[in-house]
Amino acid sequence: MPTITTKDGVDIFFKDWGTGQPIVFSHGWPLSSDDWDTQMLFFVRQGYRVIAHDRRGHGRSAQVGTGHDMDHYASDLAAVTEHLDLRDAIHIGHSTGGGEVIRYIANHGESRVAKAAILAAIPPLMLRTEANPGGLPIEVFDDLRAQLAANRSEFYRALPTGPFYGFNRDGAEVREALVANWWRQGMMGSALAHYEGIKVFSESDFTEDLKKITVPVLVMHGDDDQIVPIADAALLSAPLLKNGTLKVYEGFPHGMPTTHADVINADLLEFIRS
């Protein structure tokens, strides 16, 4: 399998298909680069080079016990881009991966970056604090940790069956293949990395990161996102960006890159070509 080894000795798995301008995908918690299959196949056929990695502790990357924090996630992404010598790259991140993209650009600079897009992403901050009163209370994330620790397999069946893809909404039909693929990806990774990842995606504050970024950033979010509510995410992130564009999707769920791939892919392509 194609891997790189980071400075702290972690093997990171990545995919690298095609030629042309590179598009780099960062996946959400607790999944893997496989969650971008539809987008990667679409864009490689459009003449782009597509790259995606499995975050440390996720998918086929090393199940290490350290470095489960946003700075390490961003550094691992930087290691992939430097190893492949990617330039003029478009970075696309979903959910936790959106935070990873923002932290990567803020911490490692824009010299290799042309544009970015964040989809249903966690910035600026999910957790309710005095400075972020609209966030979710800590009890929400404590409950996620408790469910994961009690029975990860059951938890990873319930989440995509319900709010992740919006299958709990009236009239929605559960697409069992999507649920099974979500479960498969989740169970590939490390329980420890996923447990600690809950703290990462809920407590990482990207406010200052967003303010640093000058490249064009497309902020895409569904207004029926039950995992990362739009009011405390995209609606706050977009105004903090110097060159941000907000696009809201009526009725779309958190997992919209999968459930509405045709719409999302077309809008990403338009943004990339603009």
By annotation, the residues acting in catalysis are 95, 225, 254
Q: What is the DSSP string of 45-105?
A: HTT-EEEEEPPTTSTTS---SS--SHHHHHHHHHHHHHHTT--SEEEEEETHHHHHHHHHH
Give exposure, 44-64, as e/b (b: 16+ Cβ within 10 Å).
Answer: beeebbbbbbbbbbbbbbbbb
Nearest to 95 by CA among 231, 175, 202: 202
First-to-final CA distance of the chain: 35
Q: What is the largest CA-CA distance in the chain?
A: 49
Nearest to 34 by CA among 141, 189, 173, 250: 189
Helix (H) or strand (E) holding 191: helix 191-203
Query: With 0-12 CB in 10 A as exposed, 13-18 as middle and 19+ as buried, what is 108?
Result: middle
The span from the CA of 256 to the CA of 212, in Å, is 27
Name the phi and psi angles at 249, rounded to 5: -115, 115
Name the phi and psi angles at 4, rounded to 5: -120, 160
Dihedral sign from CA coordinates of 129, 223, 248, 86: positive
